[in-house]
Amino acid sequence: MALRFYNTLTQELEVFKPLIGNTVRMYTCGPTVYNFVHIGNFRTFTFQDILRRWLRYRGYELNHVMNVTDVDDKIIVNAAKEGRSIEEYTAEFTRAFFEDAAQLRLEQPEHVSLATKHIPAMVNAIEKLAAKGYTYESEGSIYFRIAKFPQYGKLSHNDFSGIRAGARVDVDEYDKADARDFVLWKARKEGERYWETPFGDGRPGWHIECSAMAMEYLGDTLDIHAGGVDLTFPHHENEIAQSESITGKPFARFWLHSEHLQIESQKMSKSLGNFFTLRDLLNMDYAPEAIRYLLAQVPYRKKLNFTFDGLKAAARSIERLRDFELRIQSAKLQPGRSNEATERSEEAIRRFEASMDEDLNTAEALAAVFEYIRATNTALDEGQVKEDNRWEAARVLEIFDKVFDVLSPTPSSATLSDAAIEAKIEERKQAKSARNFALADEIRTLLLENGVILEDTKDGVRWKRK
């Protein structure tokens, strides 16, 4: 069976292959670093991680670019409130984002591009649009004239034919179905960070960022552009208008959008008190891999209802997987091979692959794995699994974990406070001076298991977290 994705642009499931050679050129909209990233956004980033891993499993190389929006309306407001520069302000949240992403085991894209480091590419794109007559200036800002791009609306499948010419919008995010000329370059405002350009001082709009950086790294036509469903309009619609007006070529062949996440069947919002960052959940002592599992288990085009019961169930599912892994590793088995067991493993892999190939149906893929575990446990109870079947079962888990990546436990370094570590080191020192080396070693091992590394130096013991 062929790998197929649902393409928002055509509203159909289509067979996917990269346009050129074996490399998938992919762009995903990254975080706007004005705060800690919430769990709804991490659903999108987890979907993109699963997508990356499955493309690689299918033998493709990846050239994946993700932007970091480190200048925008919210950043400017928040940084000013704290009396900090936007550079200082965004550096902290950019670092936090990548720490969170690492906790969720999200792979790093091949290129992470900061908007503020790519201003010349954006200026260049705006100049090209201006030369072709797609822009106009008003009060120092530059706008894109959407009436000049008749295909506007083709991604979100909205009919914008009746829009008012000349109506324009200065903010980056605006209401659905409210198509207006959008801002490419915002005129300099007193006290705001600005860049000098031939068409005036100011800063880029959000939409031009993605078009300019995507084309700079990936060329005129991308294989895949992905993001959360809320970006379809206006953001992605605007990216298409800008890019295709410049190149005259399709901007992206496949558009993949992940659905919203709800919390306990409600829209997540600060006012409802159900707004969670990843850090909030980790502070409640949920394991990052359980959160990853919960975010990954619902196919990306379905709404995900995030519940705390669901999170506990995810942790139990991981336990079952780990128990099975241990059983397979350590079971005493008769020599030889059971053909039935071989066939069961092969069938599980076939089903897993077919489910993932069908627009990343993670729910079906997991069902295949759990049915396999159930049947194999029964066969183990009955002595129907032989020594030569052991590696076959291990391979089912290995394939599963290449995508889901939840089998290895996260070291719980965060649970030991600095004071607790110092206390343990003191305890070890005393054990050593009492020549109780076994205890001293035990303490060292315990700390290591908690992600703390000790170094004995001539000035005493130094420690660091892994």
Per CB under 5 A, residues contacting Zn ion are: 29, 210
Beta bridge partners of 267: 262
CA distance 228 to 211: 17
Largest CA distance in the chain: 86
In terms of CB distance, is 158 or 243 closer to Zn ion?
A: 243
Say if strands 141-144 and 135-138 run parallel, antiparallel, or are unpaired: antiparallel
CB nearer to Zn ion: pick between 210 and 281: 210
Question: To which residue do tokens 């959407």 refer?
Answer: 146
CB of 316 to Zn ion, least distance (A): 37
C-beta closer to Zn ion: residue 222 or 373: 222
Q: Please tell me the distance from the alpha carbon of residue 216 to that of residue 207, in angstroms, as a whole number.
A: 15
Measured distance between the N- and C-terminal CA atoms of the chain, rounded to whole angstroms: 43
Which lies closer to Zn ion via its Cβ, residue 242 or residue 389?
242
Q: Which is nearer to Zn ion, 236 or 424 (CB)?
A: 236
Instruction: Calculate the alpha carbon distances from 423 to 294, 448, 450, 458 in Å.
Output: 36, 15, 14, 20
Q: Least Å distance between CB 210 and Zn ion?
A: 3
> Edge-to-edge strands of the sheet including 61-68?
111-114, 61-68, 23-28, 222-228, 252-258
Question: Which residue's CB is nearer to Zn ion, number 173 or number 192?
Answer: 173
Nearer to Zn ion, 29 or 281 (CB): 29
- Burial class of 55 by CB neighbour count within 10 A (0 to 12, 13 to 18, 19+): buried
Residue 205 or residue 288: which is nearer to Zn ion going by CB?
A: 205
DSSP-assigned letter for residue 457: E
| H/E stretch holding 161 | none
How is residue 199 annotated by DSSP?
T
Distance CA 344, CA 325 (A): 16
Cα 324 from Cα 331, distance rounded (Å): 10
Q: Which is nearer to Zn ion, 29 or 341 (CB)?
A: 29
Closest separation in Å from C-beta 254 to Zn ion: 15
- Single out the residue of 148, 207, 162, 213 nearest to residue 182, CA to CA: 207
d(CA 407, CA 402): 10
**Minimum distance from residue 241 beta carbon to Zn ion (Å):** 13
Smallest distance from the beta carbon of 198 to Zn ion, in angstroms?
A: 25
The least distance separating Zn ion from the CB of residue 401, rounded to whole angstroms, comes to: 31
Smallest distance, Zn ion to C-beta of residue 267, A? 22
Cβ 61 to Zn ion shortest distance, Å: 23
For the CB of residue 79, give the shortest distance to Zn ion in the complex, in Å: 21
Taking the C-alpha atoms of residue 142 and residue 133, their distance in angstroms, rounded to an integer, is: 12
Nearer to Zn ion, 173 or 401 (CB): 173
* Cα–Cα distance for residue pair 325/106, rounded to 1 Å: 23
- Count CB atoms within 10 A of the CB of residue 404: 24
Minimum Å distance from CB 203 to Zn ion?
16
Burial 122-132 (b: 16+ CB within 10 A, else e): bbbbbbbbbee
